[in-house]
Copies of this chain bind each other. A is one copy, B any other.
């Protein structure tokens, strides 16, 4: 029988409190722990202050089964972890022979002289167990305090990362942990968090308690994450997947971290179709999203950023008369841009966008955030006019993603236009 320990984190460092450093270590630790089905229940971050650290270590060790301390193992006087833990454990410090040996070898290898500051890193709480550091001078160590296993790790991300496999192995052994949870992450586009929540509550009022659903909104995509407690019913994951499919099917881009450009490139590759784009208001972002994906060159010969009317004419052959009569932000212009992009690139399928990104511009007829999209091949071109009155870069991001999404739907044979079009359609 597995005994799931209650894990908490304590991070220390003035640079974390001042905002000079963004803490990426906790996310690293949490992601590694999730492989064991463990999620830290609490995380406290403090500056390098002796009294506050001692108090927090006492509280946390009394509450948790496992406490991972990160930071404060360096050679300088503001690195307090070993000292404070020794105080909390009432164990005192002593020079640890293996830690000293590690430091001596580490310095020798780098032709450094072991100085007093370095030696401090060998002074550890009495009775602690070392955690080797294969890449840095600071060793980690663990000690049981107040019945809690306290694991002390270095703040340098590369050193922490190198130490984590050993830590996971120890936890696995001590607690006899096997994988506890199935996680299913689905990437969607065009779905609002509240809409998704509402739809789900309406359609599945008897949602199983073993499945925790959460959302992660990251423009332009929304992630649906299902954490499924391993149950006797092995089909629960598949059942949930099917529910998601039937509710949000056409919005689902893919599993895991799939980005929308990745889905488009995969679909195009499978269909043997090449792609191009003609961008005005997105200014290169569609092309950039595509080419951030490794292997984009298989399906993307290139694209065109025609910001000025002159380039829309000379590069894409948009008639001057169209620009004059309908304007740059119009159905006729984006249709001509698609035709021009297909011609100039030789690609099979293209998308074009033209809109008003702001903050300036816009009129009563074409308010700020108005954008025309056109997409298609040499046979059939579709268009839509949307309005996204948001900040400039967010507007570009959402429009670029929408442009990729219309390609995705065309390539996947999804006839239905996205529901977000209904909400944002201007005409």
Contact = CB atoms under 8 A, between A and B. Distances in A.
A105 interface: no
A46 interface: yes
- A contacts with B: majority SS: mixed
Contacts of A24: 22
A394 interface: yes
Interface stretch (A124-132, A212-220, A231-239, A403-411): A212-220
A75 interface: yes
Interface stretch (A89-97, A144-152, A165-173, A287-295): A287-295
A150 to B, nearest CB: 18
Ranked 3 nearest A-B pairs via Cβ: A283-B291, A284-B287, A19-B30
Contact of A315 (B23, B77, B344): B344
Interface string A72-86: 001111100000000
A310 B110 CA distance: 33
B216 A75 contact: no
Contact of A292 (B18, B225, B283): B283
Contact of A304 (B111, B197, B304): B304
Interface in A112-160: 112, 115-118, 135, 156, 158
Given A198-B116, A215-B76, A394-B158, A41 B47 contact: yes
A292 B393 contact: yes
B26 A19 contact: yes
A194 B117 contact: yes
Nearest to A396: B292
A403 to B, nearest CB: 12
Interface residues of A, number: 107
A23 B21 contact: no
Interface of A: 14-24, 26-34, 39-49, 52, 56, 74-78, 109-112, 115-118, 135, 156, 158, 192-195, 197-198, 214-217, 223, 225, 279, 282-288, 290-292, 294-297, 300-308, 310-311, 314-315, 344-346, 357-360, 387, 389-394, 396, 423-425
A56 B41 CA distance: 12
Contacts of A42: 44-46, 52, 56
Given A76-B194, A158-B394, A424-B110, A302 B294 contact: no
B314 A307 contact: no
A115 B196 CA distance: 11
B311 A307 contact: no
Given A30-B17, A291-B283, A52 B41 contact: yes
Contacts of A285: 284, 288, 291
Nearest to A49: B41
B194 A115 contact: yes
